[in-house]
Amino acid sequence: MPYLNKKGITDVEVSGKKVLVRADFNVPMKAGNIKDDTRITETLPTIRYLLDHGAAVILISHLGRPKGQVKPDLSMAPVAVRLAEVLGQPVTFINDCIGKKVCQAAAALKCGEVLLLENLRFYAAEEKNSPDFAKDLASFADLFVNDAFGASHRAHASTVGVNKYLPSVCGFLIEKEITRLGEVITDPRRPYIAVIGGAKVSNKILDIENIIAKVDKMIIGGGMGNTFLAAAGHDMQSSLVEVDRLEWASEFLAVESHRHKLLLPVDLVASAAFAADAEHRVCGLDCVPEGWQALDIGPKSVDLFVAAVSGAGTIFWNGPLGAFEMDAFADGTMAMAEAVANADATTIIGGGDSIAAVHKAGVAERIDHISTGGGASLEFLAGKMLPGISALPDKTA
């Protein structure tokens, strides 16, 4: 396995140890409720193995973007409740992640017991990758397991700092993700097609440039597609367009090899407003009514895109093709979900909203790999080694 030769949980003795596990429990929340617990259930194999083999488990994670402040609505407390349910045993929650309270709870923790600490990002030191913060986290444990694939593209204290102060290994979820995504990086079944959408171009620019070099075709739609269409000279009216990325998009479109591989929408669903009940209609690329915005791809684009993915050997999809949360603008994304599920291809989907979309379409069971990492899977498939994984020792070390 060229992409992963990291020391794993089964390579070390865990019995009788206090094990600090960096998990990715950054679950989507709505009004204090967990909307989707995939990231919790996907971490169970690691937690169960450690408990079954005589370890005491101390879990750490971030949730949302509290930006270094204590935000009660981003507390990990609801995660502790759900984790206890799916694990089938009590989970003690401590409302801090460093300090005396945590020290005491960790010291009292017995083998087979589980502790979950508060949101790491309540401290700015986490995202700053502060060595002192990493040292504090490391102080409660004898061993560090990183299983937070969805956070592994970030160089934070809990992903690349803690391992400097503790013997460290890679968890089962990271192993699974890297194995599945690694196959696509090293030897994708061709044609290999990437479907990229979502709200914005800006945070995916580098990845798009790297991925288009690796694929046979790239479909771009959604809000991101609008910026490309605008760069191609179409008047997108009040659509979501990133004006400061137009120059980049024009340059991207000017590259001949990109033009051969790229499929952009050929029609749109335009709406009078960003609202579920707004007046809307299908229109050509140059016919978005004045002051309206494109919120979905149109039926001709759906036919074009569906035909492209139907013949694929590998499909990687990140980012919905429209504002699918509103039914009026979900057709393009739902059709793509169905087409990806039906394709005789290795299918991989990453990204929180993309995953919600395949659930909405009812096809999640027919996708080969639903990655727990959005940015992480995109960066990995763009060919970047993820810092949280690079930081872990190799098997031979």
Catalytic residue positions? Answer: 39, 200, 352, 375
Number of residues that bind ligand ADP (CB under 6 A): 20
Listing DSSP states for 244-267 in one string gives GGHHHHHHHHHSHHHHHHEE--SE
Q: Is 126 in the site for Mg ion (CB under 5 A)?
A: no
Residue 75 or 354 having the CB closest to ligand ADP: 354
What are the structure tokens assigned to 274, written together? 């960003």
Q: Give the C-alpha separation, 349 to 336, whole Å.
A: 12
- The residue at minimum Cβ distance from Mg ion is 353
Q: Is 323 in the site for ligand ADP (CB under 6 A)?
A: yes
Q: Are strands 262-263 and 217-220 parallel, antiparallel or unpaired?
A: parallel
In the list 127, 177, 296, 353, the residue contacting Mg ion (rule: CB under 5 A) is 353
Segment interacting with ligand ADP, rule: CB under 6 A, options 95-103, 280-288, 351-359, 386-394? 351-359
Q: Within 226-245, which residues bind ligand ADP (CB under 6 A)?
A: 226, 240
Residue 161 or 351 having the CB closest to Mg ion: 351
In whole angstroms, the minimum distance from the beta carbon of 80 to ligand ADP comes to 25
Binding-site partner at residue 320 among ligand ADP, Mg ion, none, CB < 5 to 8 Å by type: ligand ADP
Q: Within 198-217, which residues bind ligand ADP (CB under 6 A)?
A: 198-199
Listing DSSP states for 293-338 in one string gives EEEEE-HHHHHHHHHHHHT-SEEEEES-SS-TTSGGG-HHHHHHHH
Q: Nearest CA to 239 among 229, 226, 228? A: 226
Q: Are strands 92-94 and 56-60 parallel, antiparallel or unpaired?
A: unpaired
Question: What is the CB-side half-sphere exposure of residue 332 using CA atoms within 13 A?
Answer: 37
In the list 352, 373, 375, 388, the residue contacting Mg ion (rule: CB under 5 A) is 352
- In order of 15, 231, 334, the CA distances from 227 in angstroms are 54, 6, 22
In whole angstroms, the minimum distance from the beta carbon of 200 to ligand ADP comes to 6
Q: Give the C-alpha separation, 247 to 269, whole Å.
A: 25
**Neighbour count for residue 13 (Cβ, 10 Å):** 12
Q: Is 295 in the site for ligand ADP (CB under 6 A)?
A: yes
In whole angstroms, the minimum distance from the beta carbon of 184 to ligand ADP comes to 17
Residue 165 or 274 having the CB closest to ligand ADP: 274
Q: Is 352 in the site for ligand ADP (CB under 6 A)?
A: yes
Number of residues that bind Mg ion (CB under 5 A): 2
